[in-house]
Amino acid sequence: MENLFKEEDAAGFIEKYADYPEELALRAYTSRLIGGNSDLVLHGGGNTSVKLMTRNIVGQGEAVIYVKASGWDMAFIEPEGFTGLRSKPLEQLCRLDSLSSGEMDNQLKIHRTSAAAQNPSVEALLHVFLPHKYVDHTHADSILILTNQKHGEAMVREALGEDIVVLPYVMSGFPLAKAVWDACTKTPEAKAVIIMNHGIFTFAEDARTAYDNMIRYVSRAEAYIHEQIGNRPLFTLREDLNTPANPQSALTRCAQVIRGACAHSATDDEKLQRLYVETRTDPDLLEASLSDQAASVCRTGVLTPDHAIRTKNLMAYLETVPEDDVSLRSLVQQAVDDFQADYHSYLSEQAKGKDTDSDRPDSHPVLFWVAGVGLMALGETRKAARIAADIGEHTIRAKLRAFAMGEYEPIPETHVSDMEHLNLQERKLQGGISALPLQGQVAVITGGGGAIGFGIAKQLLAAGAAVVISDIDAPRLQVAHSILAGKYGEDLVDSVVFDVTDFPDVERAFADISARFGGIDILVPNAGIAHVATIEELDPAKLDQVIAVNLRGTFTVIKAAIPIFRRQGSGGNIVMISTKNVFDPGACFSAYSASKAGAHQLAKIAAMELAELGVRVNMINPDAIFGDEKVCSGLWELVGPDRMKSRGLDPQGLQDYYCQRSLLKVRVLAEHVGNAVVFFASDLIPTTGASLPVDGGNPAAFPR
């Protein structure tokens, strides 16, 4: 493993964080070096600390330890990512024989230097008990490979040397801190502590040496593993397994079926919790998925119990992808049912004699490894799915090396259960995850580069959905994407350029969206164009163009979404953006009004046909949505000038005219349309086939 410490970079951190103690700036620097290497830690795993002498508010000297705060990713940590603790009183806790997790948490809160500080790592007391100034901790892949071997301790000592302490797995918190303190008190010359099935701690009196020790020991472990494996292949391919004829199609179909099969609710009355899917298709993962070892990789436990919080202990393995959807759904459902039965059995067994809950609604697999297709990870958020996928990738590669070098022996399930239970208890204490109404759902909006599409996207994002906006106008789409991503983050916003009049193009785009997110739950057919002309003057080619976008475009996206809804089997919502013109058409607007009326009827028929899938189809009839200077309305760019001219109004005057024309005398915004979409998509009422005006009140356009 490459040592990335550079004196000039370290000096740069000291200069950048001149308002902080130099030692804390260096602590942040080497923590980032560790956190940026996924072979050492993944997504907030591991922790680091530094001990300082500071002065308190009355100027007295005070020993303080700064420990990485929970929730901070070391790859991006700043000095403020460390929680200060008064170390002297905490050091006295090593004299105790036992300490409950509740009292440990209480002591850590009592002795924080700031009441507003975040919770320190669960291993904070271990950092306190070690006498060294700098302490580094990682879950390095190579260390986990060695410590998950049948004769792991002997291998660790042979690989790393005798200047280390090796301890069996002990639950993180006071028990582990006490065990490490006892061992290091007896072996003060040790330069590292290895915890079986957990990871490695290194330490020193300066930041560079502590980091150097980490890299040196991990490099020794890597070299030992390489030597033990030698020229042996990591896996052997099965002759009876093959890559699907169309891998991309297999991937999107699997993603849709898997996320549908794993959607769940705590009770029959509760809303369905949908999940995002993250896929990984690296060549080595694809090849290994066709191996004799693949099933064993999935059936054996995690590298360390910390991972089980994100991925559960086992994975699901699919050996084949049937070409027909019925067989694929049956295969996936059987895999999920088998996994859930085993998982509930495991929870019940581990709950015996303990104050634990053996019932969990989310008992589905988190990781699916599909032969010839790739790795798929599920999560309530896109971040959770990505973290699970990253851990899954590392687990597969590490296990294959562990199998090749010896006999993989994971930690007993009781330790995994303890970690899962601890995490559940923490979530309960925190009041659980505060889920927004559309969290876990994927929404697709056509015409997303215009004012209405943009407003709908904003409200869906605010409600927790991941949103894909589409348009045929790439520059306009990019403007909307940039604004939305800047506010809500790239994780939840995506954009795709496609032509709604071209059915194969729509199918391709929806497959692409499914590969990125797992499927589609909310479809908003919104793309539309207009043309102003009397019937006498209307060019038939212009009529065809408007019908192609407004009517055919609605048809193509609904048609392309139906197989996705069917594979998912978890219902969904189609909310078509219609118009007040369906009920109240205007002269010189026949192409727009007639094509929208046709699309409106199409949506009503879709409501009848898709009810059996649990898909609701509703329509929204807006009027006079103007947009703003950043995202304008294409329709009003077209019709606005003529209407201003005929009424002798300027742009603001035209908006005021339409405001005063409504019963409520209010300006109707794109966000109001978005609120209506969120209302329908939230399944608050059992309604389908409805038309909802969002126009400020127009008697002529009342649905009837």
d(CA 585, CA 378): 47
d(CA 263, CA 442): 13
Radius of gyration of the chain (CA): 30
Burial 232-246 (b: 16+ CB within 10 A, else e): eebbeeeeeeeebee
Contact present, 83 and 112 (Cβ < 8 Å): yes
> 572 forms bridges with which residues in the sheet?
615
Beta strands in 93-133 (DSSP E): none
> 318 forms bridges with which residues in the sheet?
370
DSSP of 343-411, one letter per residue?
HHHHHHHHHTTSS-----S--S-SEEEETTTEEEEEESSHHHHHHHHHHHHHHHHHHHHHHHHS-B-PP
Residue 75 in tokens: 């790859």
To which H or E segment does residue 338 belong?
Answer: helix 325-351
Report the phi/psi class of residue 278: left, alpha or beta, with left for phi > 0 and alpha for psi in -120 to 50: beta
Helix axis angle, 7-16 to 22-35, nearest 10° = 120
Beta strands in 21-91 (DSSP E): 47-55, 61-68, 82-86
Residue 333 in tokens: 């459902």
Active site residue 592: yes
Contact present, 256 and 519 (Cβ < 8 Å): yes
Q: Which of 29, 224, 488, 592 is catalytic?
A: 592
Report the phi/psi class of residue 627: left, alpha or beta, with left for phi > 0 and alpha for psi in -120 to 50: left
> 192 forms bridges with which residues in the sheet?
164, 202
Question: Which residue from 604, 557, 600, 543 is spatially nearest to 448, judged by alpha carbons?
Answer: 557
Which positions are annotated as active-site residues? 592
